[in-house]
Amino acid sequence: MKIIFHATGGNPDHWLHSLNLALPQHDIRVWHEGDTAPADYAIVWKPPAAMLAGRSDLKGIFNLGAGVDAILQLGDALPAGVPVIRLDDAGMGIQMAEYVSHALLRYFRRFDRYDQQRDAQHWRFLKPFEKSDFSVGVLGLGVLGQRIVDAIGHFGFPLHGWSRTQKHILGVTCYAGTDGLDAFLQASRVLVCILPLTEDTQGILHRENLQKLPKGAYLINVARGAHVVEEDLLALVREEHIAGATLDVFQQEPLPAGHAFWSEPRISITPHIAALTLRDESARQIADKIQALQQGHAISGIVDASRGY
């Protein structure tokens, strides 16, 4: 089989090494502008429209990540009837769970405040939070969201979850749809955003919704920067309705110099590193799915474009 590869911003040599190990019998080439030679599959991250437009030969397009908003934005450039397939996890779930657990425990144990006291050379005991009052709401209960729920469930926090359609998860109070969003937000002292980015979820964390969180709430965003209306979050932090935020994603990346988030001590910033795609594990997963497709078997991870994930 012939496979074309393109990853915007990545080194293709590293990926080709992993893919050739996982798919040794197949011809894998890096796509370049003007390449219209036949291919059976495409493996991509943020591909240019010209790579896929007009192709009638592809049997599947593999997206090197769980988020598919960038590839779906190609719209009509995507070949009709060709499945877009996202990675189910590929090592990202445990990384997300580690990141969220760290941020959650940092707030619960008040290490964020102790860091501020250290900077001020101020030695003072802070009253611990009650775990029963420190409910955690996970906004998005897909593969990664459920992995986060599984990880933080061991700590004994009250757990809530929201999804577009109703889910049933042991130990989690689940809410669904537009009708369930308000109650979910009101119940979440710590809000973890792990939603896919779609037309419905873009800007979902605006002032009106963020104000529904309990006063003194915390936000952890490991999904997409476009979920958050940044000026609304900043205002609510400064008004002390939001006690703190840990953000791994932003509307513009890299976060521009001079952005107000840099100088707000209650906002913690990391450069989109909550979960990195692991090349070898991803290549093995893609190889397994290609084999299954070739044998006519069903696979997981096929994107429903009408839902946006």
Which residues are tagged catalytic? 224, 272
272 to 64, 87, 94, 147, 179: CA distances (angstroms)? 15, 18, 16, 19, 31
Q: Which pair of tokens denotes residue 41?
A: 């599959």
Nearest to 305 by CA among 141, 140, 84, 89: 84
What tokens were used for 269? 């910033």
Angle of helix 92-108 versus helix 111-119 axis, rounded to 10: 60
Single-letter code of the amino acid located at 204: I
Residue 39 to residue 101: CA distance in whole angstroms: 42
